[in-house]
Chain A
Amino acid sequence: MKSLVKEFTKGIIRENPTFVLVLGLCPTLAVSVSVANGIGMGVAATFVLLGSSMIVSLVKNFIPDKIRIPCFIVVIATFVTITELCLKAYSPVLDRALGIYVPLIVVNCIVLGRAEAFACKNNLASSFFDGLGMGVGFTLALVIISAIREFLGTGQVLGHTLIKGFEPPFVFGMPSGALLVIGLLLGLFNLIKDRKR
């Protein structure tokens, strides 16, 4: 039981996919314009991560070693298609906001990375918690980044204006602002880690 909790919590801080493993930066840079988008992307990726981790860990003994990557991709693509169709059906606004980045979860390094590095070597329960932890960590990172960017870029968070008369610097709504915010946050995380040591 203790080890399952550990598998879950490691993805949130100690091995946070965005700030520590530095994986999946493409969608992070692209969709972190607003908190709503960030949460949507995070939840979608978490669902795919959970599903693919579980399936891969179940079928790991039947997959020939040489063609394991294509097999993982097929599993992941199935869950991405489910996610995409559900988004299109139930939340067309979010689907339009996330655009190409939902289908691109297929090639998200976090999902493939967990399948390759964890799920194909571990049992169902630990794979489930590993996927869940990584998904929560990814969502958390997206929320932090997109909250900073939405506030600085538009003066709002989740559509609410926080400070009146604040003239937001547009740069944070642009890709260059995303790189700036992620770079500074990565530096901050490393600084904190160094201080702890």
Chain B
Amino acid sequence: MKDRLIVSGSPHIYTRESVSRIMWTVVVSLIPAGIAGVIIFGWDALWITLAAVGAAVSTELIFELAAGKKITVLDGSAVITGILLAFNLPAGVPLWLPVIGAVVSMVVGKLLFGGLGQNIFNPALVGRVFLMASWPKYMTTFTRPFCDTVASATPLAALKEGKVLEHIPYWDLFIGNHGGCIGEVCILALLIGAAILFIKGYISWQIPVTYIVTTGLFMYVFGGNGFFKGDWLFHILSGGLILGAFFMATDYVATPLTAKGQIIFGVGCGVLTAVIRIWGGYPEGVSYAILMMNAATPFIDRYTKNRIYGSK
């Protein structure tokens, strides 16, 4: 009886959620897109993903052993970084590419900042942008779905080069029957994974919805010949927008804390993505848009701080 009367400090109500539980759920939610990638691009997609995950986890393990830090490889965040990095690579890259990308992701993007919770940028995107700037030859050679080794441009790259598009049906864009990165092509599988995260309440609607809507709207207004003639559905369904909006722009660490801040973040990502797609040098701008908004996150947080009840 006596020990039940002890009053401890708050919090008094616990939830069973924990960082590692959330992280492993995100891993599970990425599996449909991975399966779709393997079906579309063949076993290469699986090997690339495994190489990236293996490199990310072993980098974290070795770094933490060497630095004498707590071993955190089992919380699943390194696994997510590996998977997301691999999902952002074309299926035809040599296997050392995901390995180097994963090492850069973990060391430069995460561990040097102090590990999970301290990183200012999304680690997977840091790795991807590093690879993109280092080996553009590999990063822009995409394989055609359902057959090996035939190079094909992504729909966005074809659009950028001003080629006349053989019109890809929206349905093909939706199920992933076109050139692209491993994890970004099958919108259907990505939405299944995103639904898991929504149902569990792990991601809120603010960032993904505002991101996608802003990109679509901007594309509709400025993306065509003349105003209000852009093909907004094409731009939402192609490239890495869906993968980025649901799985990378919703990173807990590098995005704003408040709902208001998250809306600003989503709109900013959307505008930047559309601007890069229309006027930028690259055909796709999702990773750069998210990284730039990651950099702006501390400022967004400062100006959208919630008012403490009773204060001015």
Residues of chain A whose beta carbon lies under 8 Å from any beta carbon of chain B: 167-172, 174, 176-177, 180, 184, 187
Minimal beta-carbon separation of A189 from chain B (angstroms): 14
In the bound complex, do residue A174 and residue B133 qualify as a contact, i.e. CB atoms below 8 Å apart? yes
Q: Does B73 contact A (CB under 8 A)?
A: no
In the bound complex, do residue B112 and residue A170 qualify as a contact, i.e. CB atoms below 8 Å apart? no
Residue of B nearest to A170 (CB): B134
In the bound complex, do residue B133 and residue A171 qualify as a contact, i.e. CB atoms below 8 Å apart? yes
- Chain A residues contacting B112 (CB-CB under 8 Å) are 184, 187
Q: Does B63 contact A (CB under 8 A)?
A: no
Q: Of residues A169, A172, A174, A187, which shows the largest number of chain B Cβ atoms within 10 Å of its Cβ? A: A169
In the bound complex, do residue A169 and residue B108 qualify as a contact, i.e. CB atoms below 8 Å apart? no
Q: Once the chains are docked, how many angstroms separate the CA of A172 from the CA of B135?
A: 11
Q: Does B130 contact A (CB under 8 A)?
A: yes
One of A169, A184, A187 near B134 (C-beta < 8 A): A169
Residue of A nearest to B134 (CB): A169
- Chain B residues contacting A172 (CB-CB under 8 Å) are 134
In the bound complex, do residue A170 and residue B133 qualify as a contact, i.e. CB atoms below 8 Å apart? yes
In the bound complex, do residue B133 and residue A176 qualify as a contact, i.e. CB atoms below 8 Å apart? yes
- Chain A residues contacting B136 (CB-CB under 8 Å) are 170
Q: Which of B102-158 contact A (CB under 8 A)?
A: 108, 112, 130, 133-136
Minimal beta-carbon separation of A124 from chain B (angstroms): 44
Q: Once the chains are docked, how many angstroms separate the CA of A180 from the CA of B109?
A: 11
- Chain B residues contacting A170 (CB-CB under 8 Å) are 133-136
Q: Once the chains are docked, how many angstroms separate the CA of A172 from the CA of B136?
A: 13
Minimal beta-carbon separation of B11 from chain A (angstroms): 36
Minimal beta-carbon separation of A155 from chain B (angstroms): 12
In the bound complex, do residue B134 and residue A180 qualify as a contact, i.e. CB atoms below 8 Å apart? no
Q: Once the chains are docked, how many angstroms separate the CA of A172 from the CA of B108?
A: 14
Q: Is the interface of A mostly helix, strand, loop or mixed?
A: helix
Q: Once the chains are docked, how many angstroms separate the CA of A187 from the CA of B113?
A: 11
In the bound complex, do residue B108 and residue A180 qualify as a contact, i.e. CB atoms below 8 Å apart? yes
Q: Is the interface of B mostly helix, strand, loop or mixed?
A: helix
- Chain B residues contacting A184 (CB-CB under 8 Å) are 108, 112
Minimal beta-carbon separation of B108 from chain A (angstroms): 7
Provide 20 A-B residue pairs closer than 8 Å at the C-beta atoms, listed in order of the A residue: A167-B135, A168-B134, A169-B100, A169-B130, A169-B133, A169-B134, A169-B135, A170-B133, A170-B134, A170-B135, A170-B136, A171-B130, A171-B133, A171-B134, A172-B134, A174-B133, A176-B133, A180-B108, A184-B112, A187-B112
- Chain B residues contacting A180 (CB-CB under 8 Å) are 108
Q: Of residues B100, B112, B134, which shows the largest number of chain A Cβ atoms within 10 Å of its Cβ? A: B134
Q: Once the chains are docked, how many angstroms separate the CA of A176 from the CA of B288?
A: 14
Minimal beta-carbon separation of A171 from chain B (angstroms): 4
Q: Once the chains are docked, how many angstroms separate the CA of A174 from the CA of B112?
A: 22
Report, nearest first, the 6 A-B pairs whose CB atoms are least far apart. Answer: A169-B134, A171-B133, A171-B134, A170-B134, A171-B130, A174-B133
- Chain A residues contacting B133 (CB-CB under 8 Å) are 169-171, 174, 176-177
Q: Once the chains are docked, how many angstroms separate the CA of A73 from the CA of B153?
A: 55
- Chain A residues contacting B108 (CB-CB under 8 Å) are 180, 184
Q: Once the chains are docked, how many angstroms separate the CA of A169 from the CA of B134?
A: 4
Minimal beta-carbon separation of A33 from chain B (angstroms): 15
- Chain B residues contacting A174 (CB-CB under 8 Å) are 133
Q: Once the chains are docked, how many angstroms separate the CA of A171 from the CA of B100?
A: 13
Residue of A nearest to B100 (CB): A169
- Chain B residues contacting A171 (CB-CB under 8 Å) are 130, 133-134
A-facing mask of B87-102, CB < 8 A → 1, else 0? 0000000000000100
Q: Once the chains are docked, how many angstroms separate the CA of A171 from the CA of B127?
A: 12
Minimal beta-carbon separation of B241 from chain A (angstroms): 24
Q: Once the chains are docked, how many angstroms separate the CA of A168 from the CA of B134?
A: 7
Q: Once the chains are docked, how many angstroms separate the CA of A176 from the CA of B133?
A: 9
Minimal beta-carbon separation of A187 from chain B (angstroms): 7
Residue of B nearest to A180 (CB): B108
Residue of A nearest to B96 (CB): A167
Q: Once the chains are docked, how many angstroms separate the CA of A167 from the CA of B100?
A: 12
Q: Once the chains are docked, how many angstroms separate the CA of A180 from the CA of B133?
A: 13
Residue of B nearest to A177 (CB): B133
Q: Once the chains are docked, how many angstroms separate the CA of A20 from the CA of B187?
A: 50
Q: Once the chains are docked, how many angstroms separate the CA of A168 from the CA of B108?
A: 18
- Chain A residues contacting B134 (CB-CB under 8 Å) are 168-172
Q: Once the chains are docked, how many angstroms separate the CA of A107 from the CA of B165?
A: 52
Residue of A nearest to B138 (CB): A167
Minimal beta-carbon separation of A165 from chain B (angstroms): 12
Q: Once the chains are docked, how many angstroms separate the CA of A176 from the CA of B100?
A: 17
